[in-house]
Amino acid sequence: MDLAFSDEELRFRDEARAFVAANLPDDIAAAVRIGRDLSKEEITRWQKILFDKGWIAPHWPQAYGGGGWDATRRYIFDQVLSEYDTPDLNPFGLQMVGPVIYTFGNDAQKERFLPPVLSSDEWWCQGYSEPGAGSDLATLQTRAVRDGDHYFVNGTKTWTSLAQYADWIFCLVRTSSEGKPQEGITFLLIDMTTPGIEVKPIITIDGRRHVNMTYFTDVRVPVENRVGEENKGWTYAKFLLGNERTGIAEVGPSKRRLRRLKQIAAAETAGARPLLEDADFAGRIADAEIGLTALEYLSLRFLAEEAAGRPVGPEASMLKFRGSELRQQITGLTIEALGHYAAPYELDQLSEGWNEPPLGPDHAAGQMPEYLYSRAATIYGGSNEIQRNIIAKMVLGL
């Protein structure tokens, strides 16, 4: 990829910066800045702003309502978003199930499901992990039994992110126990309002409800909501996981975290000299920055491969495990830089309407919950141990 941008690409960067600066709502930017959880309404509001501009799905083909942007333009846009306090987009529809549907789904499924994904009128969640099948996903046991034009689904999914907000769930279910564990898995689209679905919260270490337990008891799903062939769901699941693991690289968000870390380390507190003047700590920040730069160029390499018609395969695991490690490294350094100011953490302080300022200096707000939740980054999307196994077997051929 040539990073000497053309005049047209530079004009697009200026346009993107001007658009984000003019259209990012102040209240949403402030919430992102202090680390407050955004509501579904707030995230949807920002997504609809991008949708109205035609920029909600730059990576989707134009034929399905996307931007059809090339790799360079997508890179520029991601960098612009990282320069502002923009919220993360809900990935389950835009990054995960949407591409599965337009790649493997039939025409009726594309017409029914893709438009409300783009407009954010329908939210999705992911039904992959189970209590006994997390990183070893092929051992999943949630079963779907076909009866005429419907499947009846029974089982349990766990770590179902944002299921409390979702209208639909894309779900891996077992339709056959013959052959290898990867065989006999089917990819279903399930309406979350269907009788027999129960969602219960899991409160994570940061005191928030990011994830849930989701129970299925005789849930009736039309066969027309099956993507692709029965018992071939593992193929579609691997395609989806490649998109997920590429997204977990989080180069843009980590750039934003790194800037925040540098600001904190450069601040003077109670007359003490800035921590950034300490050679050892400055060196550790530099190490994180070097790692992030290397990850960025690896991401650019994969974007260039995709633009040349060579989609990323198991190599995406490198982005996932390195990106999640860097996120933990940067957030860990941030908490260390804050020192005792990071310790007094009250979740209510970050909620809208709280009438007291955050404990400690302003730059301490939101850093502890970000640090706590980042501990899960090396687990979700397939643990980093699993990613290393994938790289060893499928990339290096060991």
Q: Are 172 and 128 in contact (CB under 8 A)?
A: yes
Q: Are 369 and 208 in contact (CB under 8 A)?
A: yes
Catalytic residue among 42, 130, 244, 315: 244
**Could you please report the per-residue DSSP string of 219-259?**
EEEEGGGEESSTTBHHHHHHHHHHHHHHHTT-HHHHHHHHH
The token duo for 283 is 């060196």
The token duo for 315 is 């190599």
The token duo for 45 is 């509001």
Residue 159 has what DSSP assignment? S
Helices (H), the chain: 7-23, 26-34, 40-53, 71-83, 91, 98-104, 107-119, 233-247, 251-266, 279-307, 316-338, 367-374, 384-390
Specify the residue for token string 């999914």: 157
Sign of CA dihedral 309, 55, 83, 211: negative
Q: What residues contact residue 355 under an 8 Å CB cut-off, 6+ apart?
A: none
d(CA 331, CA 323): 12
d(CA 303, CA 23): 28
User: Is 198 designated active site?
Assistant: no
Q: Are 312 and 242 in contact (CB under 8 A)?
A: yes
Specify the 3-state DSSP secondary structure of 37: coil
**Could you please report the per-residue DSSP string of 39-103?**
PHHHHHHHHHHHHHHT-S-TTS-GGGTS----HHHHHHHHHHHHHTTPPPP-HIIIIIIHHHHHH
The residues assigned a catalytic role are 244
